[in-house]
Amino acid sequence: MSQTLTITGELDSQVVICRINELQPHPSYLRHHLAVPASKLSALAEQPDVAFKEPIVITQDHLIVDGYARWELAKLLCRPTLQCMKYELTDVEALHWILQRHRRSSGINDFGRILLALDLEPSLKEKARENQRIASKGDGRSNLTEAEKLDVRSEIASAAGVCAGNVTKVKQLMLAAHPELMQALRNGEIRIHRAWVWSKLSREQQLKSLRLYERGRGIKKTVRHLLSRHQAKGTPTLLDSASVLERLSALESTEPRSFSVEIIKGNGKAIYLTEELLQSLPPYQELMPSCTTNPSNKS
């Protein structure tokens, strides 16, 4: 990161107007199939005038360093040109800068940044070997020691702004993970550790785990949506649990087969009912024992 910070102070910049089709993503950005989150693109589209006030940052070779979302939006709006701030940067320097600029919450996620930072590994290893040769007075050794390998991993982690353990996990995921698992990581749908645990399974089991997880997230989203609708209408969301359980037990033996039961991971003890199921339950009054009066007890 320190290398990136000194670059801007040492190099002159130039404001230029570039045609949209002249601009290109950084090779590492393309190689790892990264893309602008749809949510960020939608937010920018709501204020296009504001979005294009600041120039995007590019290299002398028209590689985009900062401003991918604005570039994508410009293409969607069929804008012919964009104002750019051009710097003389090598591909490695540009990659360092991309990693620094995209640590914000709306930028590239941890997994994406690690993928990008791993492309720095060859240059970091070469630097470590050079330091080794200097330290050993040029005896020609080229194999890195275990400590130096760990140092390279730490440099990659520092460039990506993550812990070193996640760098190792991503390297293993690149070898063992199902392609759909990798795409879910790029999209930020799952965390690195969860995917890494799944990567120990067969490719078929990985995909099954992902589908079950996606289904669970969909159910949670539906539940939250239904609850918010009830709260917006002023419908009470808390019911007497004893009466609900009693009414469920009063259903005909064949009726429970007509509805599904899903388990949601969460804290606390709660039962969520859809409106349709609640309306199909027998009224609580029908479960109350009827009160008969014995005429002989009349006074």
Yes or no: say if 188 and 113 are a contact pair by the CB < 8 Å rule. no
Specify whether 134 is located in the same domain as 167: yes
Instruction: Give the pLDDT band of residue 117 (cuts 50, 70, 90).
Output: very high
The rounded mean pLDDT for the chain is 81
- Whether 285 shows a pLDDT value over 70: the answer reads no
The whole-number pLDDT of residue 5 equals: 40
- Does residue 59 form part of some domain? yes
Specify whether 23 is located in the same domain as 66: yes
Chosen domain end from 74, 106, 138: 106
* Element containing residue 40 per DSSP (H, E): helix 38-45
- Does residue 134 form part of some domain? yes
Chosen domain end from 58, 80, 106: 106
Share of the chain above pLDDT 70, in %: 73
Instruction: Give the pLDDT band of residue 223 (cuts 50, 70, 90).
Output: low
Chosen domain end from 171, 200, 229: 200
Q: Which residue range forms the structural domain that includes residue 168?
A: 109-200
Domain count, the chain: 2
Q: DSSP string spanning 194-258?
A: HHHHHTTS-HHHHHHHHHHHHHHHHHHHHHHHHHHHHHHHT------HHHHHHHHHTS-TTGGGG
**Rounded to whole angstroms, how far apart are CA atoms 42 and 48?**
10
CA angle 27, 117, 59 (to 5 degrees): 40
- Does residue 282 form part of some domain? no
- pLDDT, one tens digit per residue, over 46-96 is 888 888 999 999 999 999 999 999 999 999 999 999 999 999 999 999 999
- Whether 160 shows a pLDDT value over 90: the answer reads yes
- Does residue 233 form part of some domain? no
- pLDDT, one tens digit per residue, over 6-47 is 444 556 789 999 999 999 999 999 999 999 988 888 888 888
Specify whether 37 is located in the same domain as 94: yes
Share of the chain above pLDDT 90, in %: 48
- Whether 226 shows a pLDDT value over 70: the answer reads no
Indicate the SS3 state at residue 70: helix
Looking up residue 78, the CATH number of its domain turns out to be: 3.90.1530.10
- Does residue 256 form part of some domain? no
- Does residue 176 form part of some domain? yes
Q: pTM for the whole thing?
A: 0.69
pLDDT higher at 97 or 216: 97
Instruction: Name the burial class of residue 63, with classes exposed (0-12), middle (13-18) and buried (19+) by CB atoms within 10 angstroms of its CB.
Output: buried
